[in-house]
Structure 1
Amino acid sequence: MYNLIAVELFKLRKNRSFWTLLIALTALSLAYPIMYYVDHQSSGEPQFTGAEFLVTFIASNAYAIKFGAAALAGFFISNEYATGVMKTIASSGNTRGRLYTAKLTGFAIGVMLVSLVFPIVSTVEVTLLSGFGHLPEGSSEWFIPRVLGLTLLYTAAFAAIGALFAVILTDSGKTIGVSMIFFLMIDIVLSGIGSKVEFFGKVYDYSIFKLIGEIGKPSIDRGDMPALLLVPLLTIAVCAMLGIVVFRRKDIK
């Protein structure tokens, strides 16, 4: 299993789409704070400190996570069907369950790296421009590790969904398109239906799509933490099992 994961990580390092995505997000992460810095400087408003910027804009990172999961699912997984790599892998003698698990692990690590670009690069840049400042009232010294840790966990959950779409659709264009539409519309659909049907409201409240907006709170009640941890873990487990089932039954040509 270790060798299979190592192969996937090697392919990830060699994947041009992955590096293009990282470079593009890094450029945006550098440009985004500069725009606020110049705007506040010209208007005389107080500048954001690094801590304030992280707290205020961590929710925006959800878009980078969704885009990264959709794009990499198409270019890193689905593209292997078109190039014939998936057929070669499937006939390598390893079980499809092990192959899918290794591929999901490598893919999730790639999306996790993408998810860290905005919060780390932007916060460091703002800190260099106007200082780090103070963490928000009510937060502890574990605020930053908690935010980054939950970011990685929720990113893995989105990656599991993206990988499932990839093995179902097999075409990179369809995977990217469907995944992006799903990730962008699911909040609107579930919240809209949930406002009229209580069951769907509960489903949305305890879904990664809603809870990802909670990870940047200055403080989280102990009673809320189990849900914040269990929901993404269950999402990963369920989507991984479904992906394995689909991959086992898939006729790879």
Structure 2
Amino acid sequence: MKNELQLSKKSQDFLENLRLYLFSSGKNTDEIDDIVRELETHLSEAEKNGKSIDKIIGKSPKEYMKMISNEMIIDYRTWFKYICIIVLGSFSFTVFPDLLKGNLSYSVLEIFGHILIGIVFIASVFTGFKYLSTVSQSISKQGMVLVGLAILPIALFVGLIFLNKAIDTPVIYFGNTASLIIGLIMFLFIIGVSIWAKTWTLIIIIALLTLPDYLLNLTSLQYETKFIVSMIITFGGIALYLWILSKLEMSK
């Protein structure tokens, strides 16, 4: 975090952890910014007068963060917004491939499973971030936590696929018009999220998951060949894109 005020490394780290703790506690981002700026000023003045950060926050940063968090109201609108983004985002990975195959149809288990996974993922991310903000960990251990958070939704979706095959629940069939409307809504959602996040990542990954399989099905190649080539293009393309992103980020 870049500060105009002069702060020690310890104070900067605390403010970054406080921001992460409050965000993962579901607090309003504008209120978080106000509190961090105010505390930043207090810490800067204290350090100029030769006082330690402990004089402001005490000897337990975690308790101080918890105290501030308890004085703030939970921003349920933000929680709901992120849950909706995760749920619709997860559906976007299946809607477009399914739409290219014909009209859409999903079981009740699939629909409620996506919603539940979205809620579990948001809760796990907020819990993980709160843990990282209050406990001093090595880079490797922090990486393990973040990798675990990334793997969790993948594991849950794989489990949902097998569960959906094992348990029969009513299937909702969407007609041609309804399927096109859903496709249009998902397309506008993806564009909106990409503009909001200022990245093409979601669009590119969905395109790589959808187009290779669709285009190869238009050819006369054997099924096994189509499957192998599609996997190579899809996962190779995603890996290449992420590698390019990492190189561009390192060059900044």
Instruction: Give the structure-1-normalised TM-score.
Output: 0.31
Instruction: Give the structure-2-normalised TM-score.
Output: 0.31
Q: Rg: which structure is higher?
A: 2
